């Protein structure tokens, strides 16, 4: 069974540009969550999608958005990039909503975004 796939692995952008990251969950998983990892901040929750609906959103500005398609694949978009957006963006999938009892997240390898 294939794991969570994130593309691209690395991205270099300049300030003001926008970027779209892609995530394909494990087959059969309906929930996709996005996290931002920066040194010293751990994994900061961005949002979660379940059956194409945004179920929850973290404390990030509106420049961060996402969506989920009918095949459960998800995309995350960041507009008007800032230097502080440089981070590892991780996608995780789960069978049901991530906060369901005993539910585990399965993470992809992430997309390393560098904003110059």
Partner 1 sequence: DQQVKQNSPSLSVQEGRISILNCDYTNSMFDYFLWYKKYPAEGPTFLISISSIKDKNEDGRFTVFLNKSAKHLSLHIVPSQPGDSAVYFCAASGTRAQKLVFGQGTRLTINP
Would you tell me which residues interact with partner 1 (CB under 8 A)? 4, 33, 35, 40-45, 48, 56, 58, 90, 92, 98-99, 101-102, 104-110
Q: Give least dist CB 105 to partner 1, A.
A: 6
Q: What is the DSSP string of 10-43?
A: EEEE-TT--EEEEEEPPTT--EEEEEEEETTTEE
Structure-token pair, residue 105 = 């997240």
Q: Give least dist CB 69 to partner 1, A.
A: 21
Q: Could you tell me which of 88, 104, 93, 108 has the C-alpha nearest to residue 41?
A: 88
Q: Give least dist CB 64 to partner 1, A.
A: 15
Indicate the residue among 20 and 99 with the shorter CB distance to partner 1.
99
Instruction: Report the chain's C-alpha Rg in angstroms.
Output: 13
Indicate the residue among 30 and 79 with the shorter CB distance to partner 1.
30
């Amino acid at each position: 069974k294939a794991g969570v796939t994130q593309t691209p692995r690395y991205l270099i952008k300049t300030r003001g540009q926008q970027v779209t990251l892609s995530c394909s969950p494990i087959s059969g998983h309906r929930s996709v969550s996005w996290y931002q990892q920066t040194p010293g901040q751990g994994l900061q929750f961005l949002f979660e999608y379940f059956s194409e609906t945004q179920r929850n959103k973290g404390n990030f500005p509106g420049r961060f958005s996402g969506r989920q398609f009918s095949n459960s694949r998800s995309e995350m978009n960041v507009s008007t990039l800032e230097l502080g957006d440089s981070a590892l963006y991780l996608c995780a999938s789960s069978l049901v909503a991530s906060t369901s009892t005993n539910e585990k997240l399965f993470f992809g390898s992430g997309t390393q975004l560098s904003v110059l």
